């Protein structure tokens, strides 16, 4: 500990032998690390938005289907006795809500127009617990309890059909036997989620009426699970899979249902590594330049230290500690600036509404809220220190190899 205190004292003193250069280097490091901290928070923020919006708008954290349904999308591949499966998965730790659905592609018709639609038969109360669809009601009401012929649809689809609250809506879809079944509903509500696929295609009707209309009894196509946290998705999916291994079902996580969502998650991970690589390069460039200049100016000092009996290893360690102190000071300032900006914009949000249409394809809100994660800060700090140590090795090695006699003759 005494040696460490000596190294820290010497390192701090040596850095301020040229205060202007040190201040400029610290400022450059602080700006670079602040920018990278903020970019990392932006990355975490929009990735969290994508995951939350994709999973909780419609999909849910986990879905259970009859084997092959996600590929065929045919009512023939359905779960005939969902009650047993629901009772089993409700007991799995981490599962906070379970609901059943019937999902079918069909045709929606009004008096003036026709349009393709994705029809969901849902449990009105249960759906509120697993998705955010009820939060997106822009006109009218959510599916009223006891109204068997109520329908809620996306406002984009309503515009294409030229219908509004209270108007008649005819839905047609292929029943399991191949016949076309039709049913009449009344529009009770419109939803606006900001996601084009939802607003332009979705129709929601009560589950019991969808089952009766399509002639499938109590069968469903989807059992949807909502969990406490995204981190639980994979372990809970494995537990559910093991418990239902003999039931002939498939258990899919939210990112299994749409591979694009997983690609975005992989891209976010790759982006994080790119950010860390930039951190190391910035630190290397800034610190290496400063320490090499310092070493050349202090040749006689290193020679005198060697002549007085200071070992090469001690000189080496001293120079390395100087670089670490330099990066710690710049990093602390950078984290303070970048963290402050991240927290401020995390509350206020960054309004990118002019790109709202592009963001809707990626399930992103037009207002991004940076999210400051301790893990991200730790990664940047670790990368900075690694860069500092690497940058300090060259000047430290050169300083430790100087011959005292020759160094003392330097001007």
Better pLDDT: 17 or 247: 247
Give yes or no for a contact between 355 and 365, defined as CB atoms under 8 angstroms apart: no
In tens, the pLDDT along 256-271 reads 887 776 677 677 667 7
256 belongs to a structural domain: no
Mean pLDDT of 135-146: 92
Q: Determine the average pLDDT of the residues in 306-319.
A: 76
Q: Can you tell me the distance from the alpha carbon of 327 to that of 334, in angstroms, rounded to the nearest whole number?
A: 10
Q: Is residue 209 part of a domain?
A: yes
pLDDT, position 22: 79
**CA–CA separation, 367 and 194 (whole Å):** 12
310 three-state secondary structure: coil
- Mean predicted confidence (pLDDT) in 343-372: 71
Confidence of residue 350 (pLDDT cuts 50, 70, 90): confident
Q: How far is CA 363 from CA 51, 111, 274, in A?
A: 8, 32, 24
93 and 240 part of one domain = yes
pLDDT at residue number 355: 61
Average pLDDT, the chain: 83
Residues 266 and 396 in one domain: yes
Shared-domain flag, residues 312 and 235: no
Is 14 a residue whose pLDDT tops 70? yes
- pLDDT (tens digit, 9 = 90+) per residue, 222-234? 999 999 888 899 9
String of b and e for 84-107 (b: at least 16 CB within 10 Å)?
ebbebbeebebbebbbbbbbbebb
Same domain assignment for residues 230 and 269: no
Between 98 and 326, name the one with better pLDDT: 98
Q: Is residue 6 part of a domain?
A: yes
Q: Are 49 and 360 in contact (CB under 8 A)?
A: no
pLDDT at residue number 149: 94
Of 247, 278, 307, which residue sits at a domain end?
247
- What is the reported pLDDT for 358? 55
Pair (194, 114) in one structural domain: yes
Check whether residue 72 and residue 50 sit in a common domain.
no
Whether 168 and 232 map to the same domain: the answer is: yes
Domain endpoint, select from 212, 247, 282: 247
Is 22 contained in some domain? yes
Q: Are residues 233 and 368 in the same domain?
A: no
Predicted local confidence at residue 311, as pLDDT:
79
- Residue finishing a domain among 214, 247, 280: 247
Q: Give me the DSSP letters along 153-192.
A: EEHHHHHHHT--TT-EEEEEEE-TTS-EEEEEEEEEEEE-
Residue 59 in any domain: the answer is no
Position 391 pLDDT exceeds 70: yes
* pLDDT tier at 19, thresholds 50, 70, 90: confident
Q: By residue range, what is the domain housing residue 107?
A: 68-247
Q: Is residue 125 pLDDT above 60, yes or no?
A: yes
pLDDT at 204: 96
Residue among 100, 104, 79, 82 at smallest CA distance from 181: 104
Q: Indicate the range of 94-98, 188-192, 276-280 predicted with least confidence.
A: 276-280
Percent of the chain beyond pLDDT 90? 37
Assess contact for 376 and 44: CB atoms under 8 A.
Answer: yes
How far are the Cα atoms of 18, 108, 154, 204, 369 from residue 379, in angstroms, in the given order? Answer: 31, 51, 42, 44, 21
In order, the DSSP letters of 128-162 are: HHH-SGGGGEEEE-S--TT-TTEEEEEHHHHHHHT
Cβ distance 103 to 210 under 8 Å? no
Same domain for 108 and 186?
yes
**Residue 353 above 80 pLDDT?**
no
For residue 257, tell me if it sits in a domain: no
Q: Looking at the 3D structure of the chain, how many domains does it have?
A: 2
- Both 221 and 360 in one domain: the answer is no
Residue 365 lies in a domain: yes
Q: Is the dihedral of CA 117, 122, 127, 130 positive or negative?
A: negative
Same domain, 233 and 291: no
Are residue 301 and residue 174 in the same domain, yes or no? no
**What percent of the chain has a predicted confidence (pLDDT) above 70?**
87
* pLDDT digit string, tens, across residues 202-258: 999 999 999 999 999 999 999 999 998 888 999 999 999 999 988 889 999 988 887
In a domain, 38, yes or no: yes
pLDDT for 385 beyond 80: no
163-172, 352-361, 391-400 — which is least confidently predicted? Answer: 352-361
Task: Evaluate if pTM is beyond 0.95.
Answer: no
């Amino acid at each position: 500990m005494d040696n460490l205190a000596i190294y820290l004292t010497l390192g701090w003193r040596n850095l301020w032998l040229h205060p202007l250069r040190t201040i400029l280097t610290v400022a450059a490091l602080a700006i670079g690390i602040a920018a990278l901290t903020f970019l990392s928070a932006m990355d975490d923020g929009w990735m969290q938005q994508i995951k939350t919006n994709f999973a909780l708008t419609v999909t849910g954290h986990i879905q259970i289907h009859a084997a092959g349904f996600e590929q065929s999308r045919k009512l023939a591949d359905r779960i005939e006795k969902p009650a047993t499966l629901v009772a089993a998965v409700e007991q799995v730790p981490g599962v906070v809500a379970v609901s059943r659905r019937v999902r079918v592609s069909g045709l929606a018709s009004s008096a003036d127009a026709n349009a393709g639609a994705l029809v969901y038969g849902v449990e009105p109360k249960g759906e509120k617990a697993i998705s955010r669809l009820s939060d997106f009601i822009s006109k009218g009401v959510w599916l009223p309890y006891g109204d068997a012929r109520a329908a809620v649809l996306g406002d984009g689809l309503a515009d294409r059909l030229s219908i509004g609250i209270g108007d008649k809506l005819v839905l047609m879809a292929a029943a399991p036997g191949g016949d076309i079944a039709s049913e009449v509903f009344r529009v009770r509500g419109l939803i606006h989620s900001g996601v084009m696929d939802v607003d332009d295609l979705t129709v929601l009707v009560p589950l019991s009426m969808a089952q009766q209309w399509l002639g499938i009894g109590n069968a469903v196509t989807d059992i949807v699970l909502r969990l406490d946290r995204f981190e639980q998705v994979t372990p809970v999916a494995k537990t559910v899979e093991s418990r239902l291994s003999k039931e002939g079902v498939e258990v899919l996580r939210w990112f299994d249902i749409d591979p694009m969502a997983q690609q975005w998650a992989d891209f976010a991970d790759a982006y994080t590594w790119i950010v860390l690589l930039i951190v190391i390069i910035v630190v290397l460039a800034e610190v290496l330049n400063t320490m090499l200049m310092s070493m050349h100016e202090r040749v006689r000092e290193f020679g005198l230290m060697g002549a007085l009996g200071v070992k090469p290893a001690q000189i080496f360690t001293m120079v390395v500690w100087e670089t670490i102190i330099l990066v710690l000071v710049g990093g602390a300032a950078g984290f303070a600036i970048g963290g402050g900006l991240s927290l401020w914009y995390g509350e206020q949000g960054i309004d990118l509404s002019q790109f709202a249409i592009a963001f809707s394809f990626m399930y992103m809100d037009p207002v991004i809220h940076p999210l400051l994660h301790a893990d991200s800060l730790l990664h940047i700090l670790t990368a900075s220190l690694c860069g500092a140590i690497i940058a300090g090795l060259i000047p430290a090695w050169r300083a430790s190899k100087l011959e005292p006699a020759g160094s003392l003759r330097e001007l």
